[in-house]
Structure 1
Amino acid sequence: MIRGIRPLLRGSTYAGALFAYCGALASLLLLPFAALPALVWPSAGYGVRAVLTLLVWAVLIGATGLARTTRRVLIACARRMLGVPLPDPAARAGADRRRTPLWLLLHVALGWAGAQVSLALLFVGLTIPGGWSGVEAGISVNGWSLRSEGGRRSWVAAACCVLLAAVLCVAVTKALRWLAPRLLGPSAAERLALAAERELVLAERNRLAHELHDSIGHTLTATTIQAAVAGEVLSADPVAARAAMRSIEESARAALEDLDHVLGVLREEKTGAEPTRTLADLPELMDRVRHAGAQVEAELSVGLAQVQGAVSRAAYRILQEGLTNALRHGAGGPVRVRVAALRDGLELSVVNRTGADAATGTGQRAFPTSGHGLLGLAERVRLLHGDFEAGPDGPQHWRLAVRLPVRLPA
């Protein structure tokens, strides 16, 4: 029994009923316009004009729901007043807005019916006990009458009327809560659109995470090694030490630009143009690696300037990650970098010494077998429909090889 009366004690029940009644009152703004056709047809009977006014009124109410703003406002109000978890409508789900007029019509109908009946019940409940109001009142339905005699029957009837008004509020609120997800919630098309929007956001954030990992990871690795080199040669070779410090400054500045852009995007702030690193920046990248003490042997083919767009940016990040891993996990010796722009593809490879016996698995490995670096590279290459390979190359070398499809002009 307590569970049955619990909805009568909740404020959300009456907030939902108030939401319905306010919708009914708001529809009165359209009633003067709905009465215009009946006014210009004075020869019609009263019943015909009344029906015509109601029909035009319903059409105007439904037409109001076709606006995109109306749907957004109704969803926000339903979330607040009804406590129904409704997502924001998808931007490209225009056809699903047609369910909004049906919601408005049912909303207004429930509001008017609930308001009239509940107000009538409250009025009867307050006027039946005439003993305290000083007014002789009563009700009569189908020959059965109840007059206010100030006795127990009057008070019981009054309490029943007030209780029925509260129960009606519960019924109206439950009806709206049942209708809201079906008419204001996402349809199948809207769910697909929302899923597509979320997928785009997640893909962009995933791309930013890869970019930030590559940039910051390379910068931290290179600057750590460069700082160590500068400290060792500071007295013996000040020129080399200054060069290493300049390289640290340039690397840190580039990483800060990337970090500022990524944080601005995540905070949904307006940022400047995204710092783009392409194959044109490859010589600068290899110079920073050389300043870190590595010996880089580069084999760059002609025609790299013709590689543009996403392929050029991805190629730079792949080579940056490969060189970073060579600095971090390599065992000295030259790092061989090859970039070949062919007619039907771009071939990239980074080979470095590991100081490990790949056949026996002893010694130092060049790369971890798992982690964000290799996984991020593999995913980046897969998205570009390329081929990815990373593994031992002979007894003491590690090779990273990537082929990206690209069409170059003849």
Structure 2
Amino acid sequence: MRGIRPLLRGSTYAGALFAYCGALASIPLLPFAMLPLLAWGSAPEGVQIVLALLVWAALIGLVGLARTTRRVLIACARRLLRVPLPDPVAARQSASSPGTGPAPVAPGPAVPSGADRWRTPVWLLLHVALGWAGALVSGVLILAGLTLPVGWFRAEAGLSLFGWSVRVAGGWASWAVALGCVLLAAAVCVAVTNALRWLAPRLLGPSSAERLALAAERELRLAERNRLAHELHDSIGHTLTAATIQAAVAGEVLSADPVAARAALRSIEESARAALEDLDYVLGVLREEKAETAPTRTLADLPELLDRLRHAGAVVEPELSGEPAQVQGTLSRAAYRILQEGLTNALRHGADGPIEVRVAVAPDGLELSVVNRTGAGTGTGTGRGPGAFPTSGHGLPGLAERVRLLHGEIEAGPHGPQHWRLAVRLPVRLSA
């Protein structure tokens, strides 16, 4: 039964059709292959046939050198041969996004070596050769299968083709031979399809250079996923933490101080709106849709971030030195995300007390630090203190990876008996 199953599969005949279409597609090149014979009209007939076949093969090979031909063949092989072949690697641009390190450089098109460049023409020549051989053999067998039963009422049935004659006794013998011819034609289709399936990964599959480019592309996709995870962790995590505290503050002072309650609710609205912008951007990238506008939080947005913390009931003591406006681009966005993560951790895990934020811009570096008290809170109702908020544990490792990508230094740990300190130093190039 296993030997009969390939004869009953539609994919077998789809592969044979692919081969036969390749043979038919080569016919338009045949008249051009005859042109050189005009100059060799006096050559022997055998030489002329060989010369025409060689020129024909050369023309088919030249068609195979086109990149479009390779793409079409790969798409058809995937569809008709059911062979998993990746698309040829093409250059892609990876845009820089807010809060990240330098954008990864997308791999360029793989440059094929001399041997790799000729794989497609070799495939095309074998494709056409198998297509013609399979079409001629299976066509003769099917013709025989359809012709021999005509002699059912005769004493003898026969078939003549290309000077060859086959005589079969009439009656059931002609039907048996006809059935055998049809089965042999189907077996030819199986053989042609299996041959193409064996050749496709070796000649249409990725070359060594393309495999390296595909590996680099997979690495870029993983880096992009990690970057998006950082975006969601920094933006959404901070917003939810601040909103939880602000909601608690608004609930406690709603009757006693309606103005402060309204300010806290307004801060929740602003924080949620900013987080929704970040979320829309990240989801747009995940869906491979072009986001309308990428959020660009920079050091210029730091005062707004500190105001939201104050509305949440936190006491923030900023210390700014230098000119933060001179820090531009990726570095400024990364600095904002680092401070945002540090302040979020201070809200989640710190005790009540002032949060010291320091930003120092120097000609050779940018220094950031967040210092907060540790230990049990004093019960101001903000809900802060150790274990007050669940955490995924990815905050500090994510910060360390971000700083490493920017070739900076990071320190995080106890600072004195009752404080925790996050300190980051980044190399900087100031804009004029």
TM-score normalised according to structure 2 size = 0.85
Assess, with a 3 A threshold, how the Cα gap between structure 1 residues 97 and 88 changes in structure 2: closer, same or farther.
Answer: farther
**Can you give the 5+ residue segments of structure 2 that lack an aligned partner in the other structure?**
91-108, 378-384
1:377 — aligned with what? 399
333-342 vs 302-311, which moves further: 302-311
274-283 vs 102-111, which moves further: 274-283
Amino acid of the structure 2 residue aligned with 1:65? G
Say whether residues 1:34 and 2:51 are aligned partners.
Answer: no
- The Cα offsets for residues 279-302 of structure 1, whole Å up to 9 and x where unpaired, read as 111111111111111011111111
2:6 — aligned with what? 7
Aligned equivalents of 1:154, 1:366: Cα separation in 2:
90
268-277 vs 17-26, which moves further: 268-277
How do 1:394-405 residues align onto structure 2 when only pairs under 5 Å count? 394-405=416-427
- The Cα offsets for residues 126-177 of structure 1, whole Å up to 9 and x where unpaired, read as 334453286841469999x751221555444433333322222111111100
Q: CA RMSD in A?
A: 2.7
Amino acid of the structure 1 residue aligned with 2:262? R
- The Cα offsets for residues 318-365 of structure 1, whole Å up to 9 and x where unpaired, read as 1001111111221110001112223332221111111169xxxxx936
How do 1:239-258 residues align onto structure 2 when only pairs under 5 Å count? 239-258=259-278
- The Cα offsets for residues 240-287 of structure 1, whole Å up to 9 and x where unpaired, read as 223222222221221111111111111222222311111111111111
- The Cα offsets for residues 215-251 of structure 1, whole Å up to 9 and x where unpaired, read as 1111111122122222322333333223222222221
- 1:354–1:366 Cα contact (<8 Å) kept: no
1:43 deviation in Å?
Answer: 4.1
Structure 2 counterpart SS, 1:194: helix
- 2:351–2:374 Cα contact (<8 Å) kept: yes
1:39 deviation in Å?
Answer: 3.9
Amino acid of the structure 2 residue aligned with 1:26? A
Say whether residues 1:237 and 2:246 are aligned partners.
Answer: no
Say whether residues 1:119 and 2:122 are aligned partners.
Answer: no
Aligned equivalents of 1:372, 1:77: Cα separation in 2:
45
- 2:110–2:210 Cα contact (<8 Å) kept: yes
1:40 deviation in Å?
Answer: 5.6
2:106 — aligned with what? none
2:351 — aligned with what? 331
1:110 — aligned with what? 130
210-219 vs 236-245, which moves further: 236-245
Please point out which of 286, 290, 300 is paired with 1:266. Answer: 286
Between the aligned residues of both structures, percent identity stands at 79
Aligned equivalents of 2:272, 2:421: Cα separation in 1:
28
Assess, with a 3 A threshold, how the Cα gap between structure 1 residues 173 and 409 changes in structure 2: closer, same or farther.
Answer: closer
Assess, with a 3 A threshold, how the Cα gap between structure 1 residues 139 and 152 changes in structure 2: closer, same or farther.
Answer: farther
1:137 — aligned with what? 158
TM-score normalised according to structure 1 size = 0.90
93-102 vs 113-122, which moves further: 93-102
Aligned equivalents of 2:334, 2:388: Cα separation in 1:
22
Work out which structure has the larger RCO, using CA pairs closer than 8 Å and 6 or more positions apart in sequence. 2
How do 1:197-212 residues align onto structure 2 when only pairs under 5 Å count? 197-212=217-232
2:77 — aligned with what? 78
**Can you give the 5+ residue segments of structure 1 that lack an aligned partner in the other structure?**
358-362
- The Cα offsets for residues 57-116 of structure 1, whole Å up to 9 and x where unpaired, read as 222222222222221221111111111111111111252554211111110000001111
1:360 — aligned with what? none
Aligned equivalents of 1:379, 1:133: Cα separation in 2:
86
Aligned equivalents of 1:291, 1:14: Cα separation in 2:
71
Structure 1 counterpart SS, 2:371: strand
Please point out which of 387, 391, 408 is paired with 1:386. Answer: 408
- 1:295–1:335 Cα contact (<8 Å) kept: yes
Amino acid of the structure 1 residue aligned with 2:395? G
1:343 — aligned with what? 363
- Give every structure 1 segment of 4 or more consecutive aligned residues whose post-TM-superposition deviation is greater than 6 Å: 139-143, 365-370
1:314 deviation in Å?
Answer: 1.0
Total equivalences in the alignment: 403
- 2:328–2:430 Cα contact (<8 Å) kept: no
Say whether residues 1:166 and 2:186 are aligned partners.
Answer: yes
Structure 1 counterpart SS, 2:352: coil
- 1:297–1:334 Cα contact (<8 Å) kept: yes
- 1:79–1:86 Cα contact (<8 Å) kept: yes
Assess, with a 3 A threshold, how the Cα gap between structure 1 residues 97 and 236 changes in structure 2: closer, same or farther.
Answer: farther
- 1:353–1:366 Cα contact (<8 Å) kept: no
Structure 2 counterpart SS, 1:3: coil
1:93 — aligned with what? 110
1:286 — aligned with what? 306
